Amino acid sequence: MLTVKPSRPRERGGFRIGTGAVAAVVPLLVAGIAVVLTWDSILSIRQFGLGFWSHSTWDPVAGVFGAFPFIWGTLYSSLLALILSTPIALGIAVFLSDLSPHALRQPLVFLTELLAAIPSIVYGLWGIFVLVPVVRSIETMVPPWLRRFPLFEGPPLGVGLLAAGLILSVMVIPFTASVAREVLKAVPPSQREGAYALGATRWEAIRMAMFYGRQGIMGAVMLGLGRALGETMAVTMVIGNTPRASLSLFAPQYTMAAVIANEFSEAADDLYLHALVEIGLVLFVITVAINTISRLLIWRVGSERA
Amino acid sequence: MLRRRLVSAAAVGFCVLSVVLALVPLGFILFFVLKEGLPALTFDFLTRLPKPVGEPGGGMGNAILGSSILIGLAALIAVPVGIVSGIHLSEFRGGRLATAARFAADVLNGVPSIVIGIFAYSIAVMPFRRFSALAGGVALGIMMIPIIVRTTEELLNLVPGTLRDGALALGATRARAVFTVILPAALPGILTGVLVALARIAGETAPLLFTAFNNHYWSVRLNQPIASLTVQVYTYAISPYDDWHRQAWAGATVLIGAVLLFSLLSRAVIRRLERMHHA
């Protein structure tokens, strides 16, 4: 019997290798960032070890560097942003996937995308001149008995963790909302149809769909968290830039990204520079980890559909 | 049943409220930027050098030129790398390298811009002991790459497989099929990817603070520090001078205009593409 070999005429793999060499740049960049940042923070890593992350003194003049207030401020402000933004972002995702009249959908998608397109520096400018005064007047309205709680301690400055959390939550909403909407769209129609067939209300059917896509929705929320952790300019402009960890929402604090933005070009000696790069390195590691997890969660929902 | 209906109505109401809650800040931001920025957006602002503290007037002409140069440099670095990588990802979808590169692009897309700035500082500022336009372009270029890679890949995947089959059946090599048939079909889409990436980096400030740095004068030299609109807006915003605040708002107006222009252009192209493929 005649067998036909599938032939690839004049195919010598040059095309694959050529384009592959360029595509390899992308993973090499990620690896390069890890290597270069580690190399350039080696002085700080050697000198302070893990204590770098638990000590609170940040004194460039004395050469003492402890980054606890920055990691605290980053985690606290991002967590606050997540708490404020997640319900709203999911509400938007549900509205756009299940509830919106057809004519409204495209314009609303465009407007939420616009929210993501506004540059961070413009958010910051608006934060300084519009949001911070509003936050300050809200803070002055807080009654004295409430002020005794650690959460609301301190003078009403306007700048501080609350302002940062608010502005971050607005900035994160479009990212979480758009991924969550994709996830809800990817849920097979049979899930909602089945729920309706059993007599479910509209909300109960949507809840079924959300439960089905829960991993993807987790991924969407984590993607938003990744954005919040690394956000720089807007936060720098409203958080008050004070390296003192505090529970208070009203207290001016500091974040990892903000201290790099403020002090990097002024870092006079090598140890100071290396300490700042180490903060960048950890920011890199945290965001890569969070993005990896969220991608895996989102991909899994996508592939189940296929 | 009534309780369940009420819960359902409340949940639907919350979703509507969410949309309103997100649109309120958007409206406020656009309103304030236009209200404060438009009156300060004069011809002088667009063409003059900044004046020293205390002297009224002056503008951000050099910063607008600087931003254009930085964005151009970034595109020059990112577009070739991004498109060729995107081709590889689309053509050799299942390959190990393609999977790794796709994943790396998504990861790189999530790396904070300030971290990219540190990397650019280490590879393009430290060796020369000097802030430079080139270093700023490198930082922005690295940010553009993953966006272009992923959009190029997605849009090439949209090109019907029959086109490729036809080309291969006529005896074309894979490279020839890609460059003469598939790529031209996807070109408007790839342009969109570039526009989306431009919109994303046009407003970046953090990675420029310690790469391109700033410059008070006109400069087109790539090995010298260069002014940029975003860094200038930042400097003016945190200054204590009213006149500078006005100029910061005007700068923000220009920024929003540029970002909006890139976004609207890309949307227009996407619309046309969708219509083409559905027809």
Is it the case that residue A11 has pLDDT exceeding 80? no
| Residue A152 near residue A200 (C-beta atoms within 8 A) | no
Kindly tell me if the per-residue pLDDT of B54 is higher than 80.
no
Closest partner residue to A26 (CB to CB) among B33, B149, B204 is B149
For A152-167, the DSSP string reads: G-S---S-SHHHHHHH
Nearest residue in A to B35, CA atom: A126
Q: Does the pLDDT of residue B137 top 50, yes or no?
A: yes
Nearest Cβ partner for A118 among B29, B101, B115: B29
Residues 88-107, chain A: which have Cβ within 8 Å of B? 88-92, 94-96, 99
pLDDT band at B131 (very low <50, low <70, confident <90, very high): very high
B82 falls in which pLDDT band (50, 70, 90)?
A: very high
Confirm or reject contact between B135 and chain A (CB < 8 A).
no
Give A302's pLDDT tier (boundaries 50, 70, 90): low
pLDDT band for position A306 (cuts 50, 70, 90): very low
Q: What is the pLDDT of residue B266?
A: 83
**Per-residue pLDDT band at A8 (split at 50, 70, 90):** low
Mean pLDDT of A125-142: 94
Give me the phi and psi of A65, to 5 degrees please: -130, 115
A186-211 confidence digits (pLDDT tens): 898 898 999 999 989 999 999 999 99
**Pseudo-torsion of CA A191, A101, A174, A125, nearest 10°?**
-170
pLDDT of A305 reads 47
Q: What is the pLDDT of residue B117?
A: 97
* ipTM beyond cut 0.85: yes
3-class DSSP string for A18-31: HHHHHHCHHHHHHH
Residues of chain A neighbouring B142 (CB-CB closer than 8 A): 29
Q: What is the pLDDT of residue A14?
A: 84
Do residue A19 and residue B84 have CB atoms under 8 angstroms apart? yes
Query: Is the Cβ pair B92, A20 closer than 8 Å?
Result: yes
A29 shares contact with chain B (CB less than 8 Å) = yes
A173 contact B CB<8A: yes
pTM tops 0.90, yes or no: yes
Q: Which of A121, A257, A116 is nearest to B147 (CA)?
A: A116
- Which pLDDT belongs to residue B278? 62
Q: How high is the pLDDT of residue A3?
A: 56
Determine the average pLDDT of the residues in A75-85: 97
Is residue B111's pLDDT more than 50? Answer: yes
- Average pLDDT rounded to a whole number, residues B233-255: 94
Q: Which neighbouring-strand residues pair with A64?
A: A59
- Cβ proximity of B254 and B41 under 8 Å: yes
Percentage of chain A surpassing pLDDT 70? 94
Mean pLDDT of chain B: 91
Partner residue opposite A119 with nearest CB, options B84, B104, B203: B203
* pLDDT surpassing 60 at residue A5: no
Contact criterion met (CB below 8 Å) for A191 and A210: no
Per-residue pLDDT, A304: 56
- Contact criterion met (CB < 8 Å) for A111 and B121: no
Residue B104: the pLDDT is 94
pLDDT, tens digit (0-9, with 9 covering 90-100), for B162-184: 888 899 899 888 888 888 888 88
Portion 66-105 of B in contact with A at CB < 8 A? 80-81, 84-85, 87-89, 91-92, 95, 97-98, 100-101, 103-105
Mutate to test the interface with B, among A7, A10, A12, A19 (most CBs of B within 10 A): A19
Q: Where are the beta strands (DSSP E) in A54-210?
A: 58-59, 64-65
- Report the alpha-carbon distance of residue A72 to residue A76 in Å, rounded: 6
Distance separating alpha carbons of residues B244 and B164, to the nearest angstrom: 57
Q: What is the pLDDT of residue A12?
A: 61
Residue B94 pLDDT class (50, 70, 90 cuts): confident
pLDDT greater than 50 at residue B186: yes
